A = this chain, B = another copy of it.
């Protein structure tokens, strides 16, 4: 009888795993469980916030998509996991038995600074981005100070940089740039760190780019409070400062959602409730549970004075999905071959007219390959990739051969590799 694989989450990680599994084995029974009825292209949420994209441009309804590929879809969130009974319960009360469980829910957002959720807006969900867009339309009529930032514990800094640069571009186009002081306030030890310990000379590049764009930056501090008209932060000595602010976009930190915690301490990392995985993104205790995407517990690249985490970029997530799909199928087929994702990160920060791109492989140093580029074509490359990705999702082909070929050609990188010993921290060499 064919095995049943349940996937919690219908985002980049969930969909990529579902498609990769389907591609590897036509006979598998696959069920995607997601309360959100659509797939959204997360990297374009800052564009949604600025009105450069419409909601329909960067989202796709899940139901017709999945059914076309013979994947079942339950439009409810997972509520709890019983890893001993191999069962998932949904918010609607359904009980689903699984042979393999893939947790790819994405994160729960934590607005750790006082007043952050009320007075600031993130770009982490399509809903937030659209709310920010409405706020911006008001703001343009009577502009003032803007703060873009990231609270302690953030692991995803890219969208903050992008939003600051793109806002600069938009304000210039509207001829009101000189009326809007923009301040970037971050928990990174320096700008360009990006939770990655920097990528090549990213610090220099970012400092220069901020200076060119007249964006002030304050690094190595904790945003503690967001008020309607100011942002308050604290330095390492505990001294507090405030910056006037009419509009802010401050990144929240991420933790695992409650459904992960429900599976107990052997699945959920006690510190942040994210899914504990080994090098092959398999849970070390429950061998039939896997994690994919932002919900997995990956150690930080380096200790920073104020805590920061390692980002999990789209490319890393696709690599995790591909490795997990292979590992599940090989387990079913009694093959002992296991794969680990390379965890190489490409990160393109759009800046409106041009864009800045970084590539680090692997993400955790020492790195074999580091590349960076600031260019106009990078802006178009990012837009092209978005269209391409939406097409991939539509056609159901998440890691087509020609893309792997590109990756190999451009960066001499394979997305996944055979791993002799899966025991070990995710991202550490096999």
* Residues of A in contact with B (beta carbons under 8 Å apart): 172, 175, 177-182, 198, 200-202, 204, 207-208, 211-214, 216, 362, 365-370, 372, 429
Question: Whole-angstrom distance between the alpha carbons of A172 and B201 in the complex?
Answer: 20
Copies in the complex: 3
Minimum CB–CB distance for A292 against chain B, Å? 22
- Quick one: closest B residue to A367, CB to CB? B214
Across the interface, A200 reaches (CB within 8 A) one of B212, B362, B429, namely B212
Q: In the bound complex, do residue A366 and residue B200 qualify as a contact, i.e. CB atoms below 8 Å apart?
A: no
* A–B complex contacts, Cβ < 8 Å, 10 sampled: A172-B369, A175-B368, A177-B366, A177-B368, A178-B362, A178-B366, A178-B429, A200-B208, A202-B211, A212-B370
Option from B172, B179, B202, B211 in Cβ contact (under 8 Å) with A198: B211
Give the distance to chain B from A149, nearest Cβ to Cβ, in Å: 17
B181 touches A366 (CB 8 A): yes
Name which of A177, A201, A366, A429 has the most chain B CB atoms within 10 A of its CB.
A366
On chain B, the residues within 8 Å of A207 by CB distance are 201
Q: Which residues of chain B are within 8 angstroms of A175 by Cβ–Cβ distance?
A: 368
9 extra interface residue pairs, beta carbon distance < 8 Å, beyond A200-B211, A216-B365? A177-B367, A177-B368, A178-B429, A180-B366, A182-B366, A200-B212, A202-B211, A204-B208, A213-B370
Q: Tell me the complex Cα distance, A207–B204, Å.
A: 10
Q: Do A429 and B365 touch across chains, with their CB atoms under 8 A apart?
A: no
Cα A179 to Cα B420 in complex, Å, equals: 15
Tell whether A208 pairs with B213 under 8 Å between CB atoms, given A181-B366, A368-B178. Answer: no
